[in-house]
Amino acid sequence: MVTAEPLPTLEIAQSLGLTPDEFERIKEILGRAPNFTELSVFSVMWSEHCSYKNSILQLKTLPRSGKRLLVGAGEENAGLVDIGGGLGCAFKIESHNHPSAIEPYQGAATGVGGIHRDIFTMGARPIASLNSLRFGKPDNPRMKHLIAGVVKGIGDYGNCFGVPTVGGEVYFYDCYHHDILVNAMSVGIVKAGETVSATAGEPGNPVLIVGSATGKDGIHGATFASADLSADSHEDLPAVQVGDPFQEKLLLEASLEAIQTGAIVGMQDMGAAGITCSTSEMSAKSGVGMRIDLDRVPQRQANMKAWEILLSESQERMLIVCKPGREAELKAVFDKWDLPCELIGETTPGGQLEYFWHGEKVAEVPADPLVLGGGAPVYVREQKTPEYLKEIEKFDATQIEVPADLQHVARKIWASPNIASKNWITQQYDSMVRTGTMTTNRPSDAAIVYVKGTRKALALTTDCNSAYVYADPYKGGMIAVSEAARNIVCAGGEPVAITNCLNFGNPYNPEVYYQFAQVIRGMGDACRKFETPVTGGNVSFYNQYTHNGKVIPVYPTPTIGMLGVLDDYDQAMTLDFKNPGDRIYLIGVSREDIGSSEYLREFHGVEYSTCPYFNLEEEWHLQQVIAKAIRQKLVESVHDVSDGGLFVSLLESAMPGGLGFSVQSLPGVRKDAWLFGEAQSRVIVSVRTEHSEALERFLKSENQPFENLGMVAGSEIMLDGENWGVVSDWKKTYDSLLSQIME
């Protein structure tokens, strides 16, 4: 019998994020009215953050199987892919958007800590971290505070934890002025046979909590993440967790050592919804229940209530289900690492979760109806084509005059925060710890991390140009996946699988849900074409802000984290020009296309324009050709054309070695489009003169269009015979711009 409490009203249920229909459904499931503790359990588990109730039907349309996948999408804490040689790679990306917008340092830091726990909970050792960040314009004082806090939070946690930050991306758009996006990705390696599942096994297994003590931080964090931010959101600060990277490092080593004992049945990170989530998901997965004594949970604050312990999202904690009689073995391991390890309950038959507090049952709920894939609610929301797309359809590039002074245009684009170096940010991250990063001093389109003890390396990237997605959600979704694959291929890798972090506004807004559904369709088509199944990730809705009665959602931002494999790290390819006199080629087609370009936004101030040219078949063919050219050692450098267009890509290849270039524009194509347009499916390569004829023969045999642009020069930049200065001057602007803004 559950302890009697005053029964919550509908108003209380709604204040916890539940709808009237959901409140009634809870009563039906329980066969009675819930008490406050039980209602709180349902509210966090049925939040969008935990249940994916507004997104799961769309997500199920994505390709979720492949020859290298070792677990199905969403089956475990992270995706797991076979990379050969008896090794698996666990990887995942997740958001920590709302917490970072309210308390940037801890919000970002705990996002990093949480995603690493998802990796080592599966038995994998994290070897690399990436991120994808979105901010408003950086010259705003509030935004400077958020940027500085987020970057320091990511850097401090990752550096202290001892995992290198090897890659990522940063964009600055007005739509992120209030709702910033902080997406963190972790990648780890595990040997075959040493993985751990988030399972509870059979009835009668002991249940232990390990790691940090539980406090009041993060309570209702999952609910907080599933609501709009407002001017009063700072009052929800207790929903932001507090991280301790040194404690997490101990937890990592202790957990990996504990796995070696063979005493563990299953293990799960305590992330969103804390004990509630881990107990319910592990139980539902195994078809068992649990009896949990909450007063046995180590607490770091006095007078905590039972529901606070259940919902706390205190960091650096795990739930472990172990084999009967082997609790002492695990406790000895965690004692060695000076970490609490307490027996708090056991698995039970019947599928009921029973939570006790000082001997009294304070809540009893069935596990299965709480969880995604079980009885959690599932909705299909209304879709409506966004009104702003009508403005985009009106865009006519012929109405944009080609500026007379294109060098002036180039310098203005080059000084855009979206194009300029992010070294003010990346220098705060340790990219060299563990000594596996191959691209710290040898730039490449994707980060390359070699797998110690083997000849293998991983190619890793995060990608999404949300301006493209805003202009055309379907095509933009395809481009996000395709650019990630292109970056992997340009780095010498084979695209294998993706994880994603889908950042959108309120799903109850039909225009937002239209964006979401179209993005999923585009992502799915591209993933099927590149044979890169979706291993998991997360959905982050409610990224919007109400200001003066107007709802301002962020651009739809489906961040793609992609994993590629190099069977031999000698296959790695870099983007930097190598030798004066090498020939430069554009592989792909120059087009009369300036849509959604940084050029249009930064120089002409055009907000509404069409998505850049993209054709999936053309993109796939280009990537096959580039991969062959690298394998045949026909090219010296490879770099894709993306943000800022061809001229920006040429400069990015020129800067590492201080080598300039002399190129000729293509007659018949408007020069601003040739220089700054962002039409997709284009790559620049440099080739030794003695290999240029072989490359051209190869490209013709593959029916791949190309342009002979010119040659690598000493230090000067020449365009159509006009001197545009020296590389070092352009590099000075590139390197200093963001630092000058921030400092």
Q: Which two tokens stand for residue 665?
A: 């524009």
| Strands lying side by side in the sheet with 447-450 | 447-450, 457-463, 557-566, 494-503, 534-540
Side-chain-side CA neighbours of 4 within 13 Å: the count stands at: 0
3-class secondary structure, 450: strand
Tokens 């929301």 -> residue = 381
Q: Strand 181-191 and strand 661-663: pairing?
A: unpaired
Unique residue bearing structure tokens 């390696």: 189
| φ/ψ (deg, to 5) at 742 | -75, -30
Give the CA distances from residue 333 to residues 188, 261, 316, 327, in Å, rounded to whole numbers and listed in that order.
22, 9, 16, 10
* Closest-CA residue to 462 (of 476, 475, 446): 446
- How far apart CA 225 and CA 38 sit, in angstroms, is 20
Radius of gyration of the chain from its Cα atoms, rounded to whole angstroms: 26
Q: Which tokens in the block code for residue 644?
A: 């800022």
Describe the crossing of helices 327-336 and 245-260 by its angle, rounded to 10 degrees: 140
DSSP string across 33-98? ---HHHHHHHHHHTSHHHH-TTTHHHHTTS----TTBSS-TTSSSSEEEEEETTEEEEEEEEE-HH
Query: Where does 395-472 have alpha helices with state H?
Result: 406-414, 423-426, 466-471
Query: Who's near 63: CB < 8 A, 6+ residues apart?
Result: 524, 527, 528, 533, 534
Alpha-carbon gap, residue 346 to 141, rounded angstroms: 52
Rounded Cα gap, residues 736 and 450, in angstroms? 31
Q: Would you please indicate which residues are annotated as catalytic (active-site) residues?
A: 49, 96
Other Cβ atoms within 10 Å of 488 Cβ, number: 31
Q: What is the DSSP letter of 207?
A: E
Q: How far is CA 584 from CA 358, 487, 577, 660, 712, in A?
A: 74, 19, 9, 11, 7
Chain centroid to Cα 308, Å, comes to 29
Edge-to-edge, what's the strand order for the sheet holding 289-293? 264-269, 317-322, 206-211, 341-348, 289-293, 352-357, 360-366
